[in-house]
Copies of this chain bind each other. A is one copy, B any other.
Amino acid sequence: MKPLPTMADVARLAGVSAMTVSRALRHDASVSCRTRARVLEVIDELGYVPDKVAGALSSGRSGLVAVVVPTLTLPLFGSLTRGLGDTLFQAGLEMFLGASDYDPDREERIVKDVLRRRPEAIAIAGVGRTEKTSALLQASGIPVVEFLDGADPPIDHLISVDPVAVAQATIAHFSRKGRRSLAILTQREQTHRRGAARVDALTDAAKAAGMAPPRIIRVGSPLAPFEQGARAAMEALDADGEVDALVCMNDHAAIGAVDALLRRGMRVPDDVAVFGFGDYEICRHVRPEITTVGFNPLKAGVEIGKIMLSALEAARRSTAQDPYRLTLDFEIVERASA
């Protein structure tokens, strides 16, 4: 297996210097048309593929942006990373993606590994995070964008939905529907920040609306949301008619909950209303259709990407720059399940 051709090989065959090849490749410098044509011809002939490892080391710019999410098996993160990846791609940056499976230790290892690749910026979802991870991000010297939720206070830039606003809208919805006793499905781990903020906000809003204090349900794994929702529904039933509405952390959990309730002969929403989050496409294709919090992950990804690009631009010019704070739009999507 002979070694891949290098820039020097191309240069030799084209009768120019390596520098000229480098320039011809980037279309930016002033290389004569004829020279460029010849160089490109040789490149094609040789099947030369430039080595970005070397380029990155030399230029100090890896062309990489790191993105860390909890999982890729939820449509939310699949779509978000699509929007984010596209936006970065168009700006000539590649996305290096890691999934923590909702495990803070694993996330720490991912962050550590990814920082070794010298990304130019990093975006990370604000689920539970170890101290060490925060320290690593702080010390990385690159723009850090937290999304969906961040540390408190945020490390740098933050893009999130406002959990208090979502909670108030949710409670207002149930208030209108005459529901009195909520159950909230949330993560088992105390480390999950967004989960915690969500529960607190819902609890506060319920209290303000004169409802009973919500029952907190911590079951199952976020990696198996359908099953998690189903188990939550069972717990809600164990409350013996005291629960008339179940708020899930995502639509898949809501669908699992609805399914479990129907199998037990309960009526949804008559006996128990079920409320999701995300407005995944599937919500419109199950019966009863799922009432949920509408949130556009593709657009969120694009927004995150734009902020990363601005932050990078500012960092490059070492312009002092206030951290971005972007609150993402959402809406309550009223359907049949709640």
Contact = CB atoms under 8 A, between A and B. Distances in A.
- Chain A: interface residue count, which band? 35 or more
A307 B282 CA distance: 34
Contact of A53 (B62, B136, B227, B286): B62
Contacts of A114: 94
A318 interface: yes
Nearest to A49: B115
A72 B78 contact: yes
Given A50-B116, A51-B118, A255 B282 contact: yes
Contacts of A282: 226, 252, 255, 282
Interface in A22-63: 47, 49-54, 56-57, 62
Contacts of A96: 96
Given A141-B1, A141-B4, A282-B252, A49 B112 contact: yes
Interface in A134-157: 135-136, 139-141
A226 B285 contact: yes
Contact of A82 (B54, B72, B118, B139): B72
A189 interface: no
A54 B57 contact: yes
Interface string A230-258: 00000000000000000000001001101
Interface in A73-129: 73-75, 77-79, 81-82, 85, 94, 96-97, 99, 101, 112-118
Contacts of A256: 285
A298 to B, nearest CB: 9
A144 to B, nearest CB: 13
A82 B101 contact: yes
A14 to B, nearest CB: 19
A259 interface: yes
Copies of the protein in its oligomer: 2
A258 B75 CA distance: 20
In the complex, which of the residues A62, A75, A285 has the most CB atoms of chain B within 10 Å of its own CB atom? Answer: A285
Nearest to A286: B286
In the complex, which of the residues A47, A73, A117, A141 has the most CB atoms of chain B within 10 Å of its own CB atom? Answer: A73
A270 interface: no
A71 interface: yes
Contacts of A81: 72
17 contacts: A49-B115, A49-B116, A52-B117, A53-B56, A53-B118, A72-B72, A72-B78, A72-B81, A73-B79, A94-B114, A96-B96, A226-B285, A252-B282, A255-B282, A256-B285, A262-B287, A286-B287
Interface of A: 1, 4, 47, 49-54, 56-57, 62, 71-75, 77-79, 81-82, 85, 94, 96-97, 99, 101, 112-118, 135-136, 139-141, 224, 226-227, 252, 255-256, 258-259, 262, 281-282, 284-287, 318
